Amino acid sequence: MNPSQNSIKESLSFVHPPRNWMNPPRNWINESWNWMNPPQNWINESWNWMNPPRNWINESLNWMNPPRNWINESLILVNKHKNSAPHSPTFPGKSMSKNNSVLGAKRRSLWQLALEGVLDGGPSTCQFAITSVCNARCGFCNFAVDKMPIDERHSVTLEQAKQAAEILYRNGVYFLIYVGGEPMAHPHLNEMIAHASSIGMAPMLVTNGSLLTPKRIDELADAGLMSVIISIDAAEVEKHEQNRGLKGVCDRIRDANIHFQRRHISTTASVTMSRLIDDYHQLPPFLKSLGFDSVTFSYPLTTLASSYLGYAESNLVDYTAEELHERFDTLKALKQDFPVVNPTASIEDMQRHLRGEPEQFGCLGGWKLFYLDWHLNLYRCHNWDKPMCHITEFDSSQRVRDGCTACMIDCYRDSSVMQHIGVSVSDGVQALTKGKLKQAWKYWFNHNNLVSLKAVWEQATWLRRL
């Protein structure tokens, strides 16, 4: 491939791409990818990558002919949230201006997110622990109400949460996941979600479900909540409610799922891998009975270095490497019976981790994924001992990208696998703008990109909800 300088400049402008850029010669595709020599049946049967269904292109994405104004509007939006003036009032010992220039922004379309992926690897995600207060008594969690002293319970104020969301948004964070403790125990959760949605973010919620009522669900939906993850600990009611110390919570979750469906908000079960589950194949019918149609598994944690307390030294989550490796095999087999959100490639990387082998994907924690606690300290992940900075100081210069593989925290490792392709494409574009065509080629054409694409394809149904 020897594109002329004019062709490169025109292609990178993204405003008026040449027609042949949108329709590369067939021999370019065949010759460029042949060096990978993937098995033919893998392409034809699993991916049909070279010939995707016509209706997938034309009806779902209109990929070959994106609307002309999409490009201009997307560039304006991306530049807007990147170039907004930094502001920093009301945090003790910190100063923040009251510039609300981000207010009134619209939530991004699929094409805007795709363009952002080309420009800088795609949108970032932050888990925001707005409170350490919890009403449950989980045996494998130090947030448990019977474990945490009263003087160690902390929550952010509404004003702090709003200011933090604006700073995160200006630094490329799109998905803002409210966690705890139990985030629904915070009296201002609805207002936080409404504000995040109003500035163009996609707010999500992780909850034990005990405080979900039709009234609260309507309030959350009206505020702009996009998706909900609800914790489930076992494959039967008695075990789950006994571990949570929340009698009747399964009935409440079942009713909540019905109401969420009416409000067109997706829900996903989050199941911690623990000894409360004797047979993982009993999970699908139980989850279906509660109204779930997908599940994500949280990998067992007995220690964490950050302020996050979602772990415990408990025999419920104390596995040998061999036991955990076997359970990961069970998760892969479970995909045949029920939609499991954890990508197969990520699960297999966790098995490499257990065997002490080199892992295929490094974590994007600190680069695209973050954790913000109730003290407003921003960490690269749950397992990092020192915060990157206080949220008032965050200006993206603190980002770190070092391919870390130190832990097995699913919410970081799974997302890193799927977002690898976006980051790789962006790296190639950046290299190309500097005239480093060979380096760009290496970024674009490597085996991990195909694995990442396959992980995205595997989770396409779930991702479309976002």
pLDDT for position 116: 76
pLDDT for position 33: 43
With bands split at pLDDT 50, 70 and 90, how would you rate the model's confidence at 41?
Answer: very low
Q: What whole-number distance in Å separates Cα of residue 390 and Cα of residue 148?
A: 24
| Degrees to nearest 5, angle at CA 196 with 194 and 199 | 105
DSSP assignment of 63-106 = TTS--HHHHHHHHHHHHHHHHSPP----STT-------TTTTPP
Q: Give the β-pairing of 389-390 and 377-379.
A: antiparallel
The fourth-level CATH superfamily of domain 68-419 is Aldolase class I (3.20.20.70)
pLDDT for position 188: 98
Q: Which of 310, 325, 270, 301 is nearest to 462 (CA)?
A: 270
CB 52 within 8 A of CB 60: no
Q: What whole-number distance in Å separates Cα of residue 132 and Cα of residue 143?
A: 7
Sign of the C-alpha dihedral computed for residues 109, 115, 119 and 125 taken in this order: positive
Instruction: State the chain's mean pLDDT as an integer.
Output: 83
pLDDT for position 273: 97
pLDDT for position 461: 82
Read off the pLDDT of residues 264-318 as tens digits, 9 standing for 90 and up. Answer: 999 999 999 999 999 999 999 999 999 999 999 999 999 999 999 999 999 999 9
pLDDT for position 110: 65
**28 in helix, strand or coil?**
helix
Q: What whole-number distance in Å separates Cα of residue 38 and Cα of residue 35?
A: 9
pLDDT for position 460: 81
Percentage of the chain modeled with pLDDT above 70: 76
pLDDT for position 87: 38
Read off the pLDDT of residues 1-23 as tens digits, 9 standing for 90 and up. Answer: 444 444 444 444 433 444 444 44
Map out the domains of the chain as residue ranges. Answer: 5-58, 68-419
With bands split at pLDDT 50, 70 and 90, how would you rate the model's confidence at 68?
Answer: very low
pLDDT for position 119: 83
pLDDT for position 11: 42
pLDDT for position 463: 79
pLDDT for position 106: 62
Buried b (16+ CB within 10 A) or exposed e, 118-156: bbbbbbbbbbbbbbbbbbbbbbbbbbbbeebeeeebebb
Per-residue pLDDT for 72 more than 80? no
pLDDT for position 198: 97
Q: What whole-number distance in Å separates Cα of residue 323 and Cα of residue 309?
A: 24
Q: What whole-number distance in Å separates Cα of residue 47 and Cα of residue 45?
A: 6
Percentage of the chain modeled with pLDDT above 90: 72
